[in-house]
Amino acid sequence: MERSYVTLYLIRHGRQSSRLCNVDVELSAAGFRQAALVGERLVRERIQTVYSSALIRAEQTAQAANLYWNVEHIIEPDLREIDFGRMEGLRDQEIRQRFGDLKREQQKMETDIPYPDGERAGDVIERVMPVLRRIAHGAEERVAVVTHGGVIRCAAAHILGMEPAKYRLLGRDLENCSITELRFDRGEERFTLERFNDYGHLEKEPDLLRDRWIQGEEEGAGWQTEDSRRTGSLRT
């Protein structure tokens, strides 16, 4: 049987302009820089199409990276981030105060517990994997998919045969505009995980890395640019 393959480059969106949990906001200045660096990094891969979720931060990341590729940009709403339910729009401190017990239960990874009035990992897998399979069965051989940290971790866990609740073992904090590469064998109808959370293109600019962003919050964010000074965020 003749086999054909397609490569999907899953890209986490760039740094957003708010630290509140999963609010639909624009990228920060740093986020646009991250998007440009991942666009430049993937030029040699000759991307044929870029897909993104409909959330503003993902759309803008795709648009900024696509300045290097100049290909069709397709919106896929089901690539949106996991629904955090009543946690959305809250600061980290508020989340710890109001939902600390639930978060501790989730961290045990014994059961796929949903966020309050939101989704669980299994729900994300059920809506995202059909989209990735449909993309993989398209005419393209190399596509970029700009989506979200929770989506990438859930999809990777599923491909590796892990229980949905165990997705938290895959990267506590994915870097913004990191690359997770999937390969789909159209003959065997199978995804393989080729690389995960690759952010080598960001290392030459340390202020774009996630630990500096988190450190900035802990130290009062005094080093940050004006458009990224916010408070609180659920980091997934």
pLDDT surpassing 60 at residue 57: yes
143 φ, ψ (degrees, to nearest 5) = -130, 150
Q: What is the pLDDT of residues 91-150, one digit of tens each?
A: 999 999 999 999 999 999 999 999 999 999 999 999 999 999 999 999 999 999 999 999
Per-residue three-class SS string for 84-116? CHHHCCCCHHHHHHHHHHHHHHHHHCCCCCCCC
Cβ–Cβ under 8 Å, residues 37 and 131:
no
Residue 215 pLDDT > 70: no
Mean pLDDT, all residues of the chain: 91
Helix (H, G, I), strand (E, B) or coil at 169: helix
pLDDT in tens, 58-84: 999 999 999 999 999 999 999 999 999
Q: What is the pLDDT of residue 75?
A: 98
Average pLDDT on 53-62 reads 98
182: part of which helix (H) or strand (E)? strand 179-185
Q: Which residues of 182-211 are buried (b: 16+ CB within 10 A; e: fewer)?
A: bebeeeeeebebeebbbbebbeeeeebbbe
Q: Please state, in angstroms and rounded to a whole number, the distance separating the CA atoms of residues 11 and 62.
A: 9
**Structure-token pair, residue 135:** 């993309």
Rounded distance, CA 118 to CA 81, Å? 11
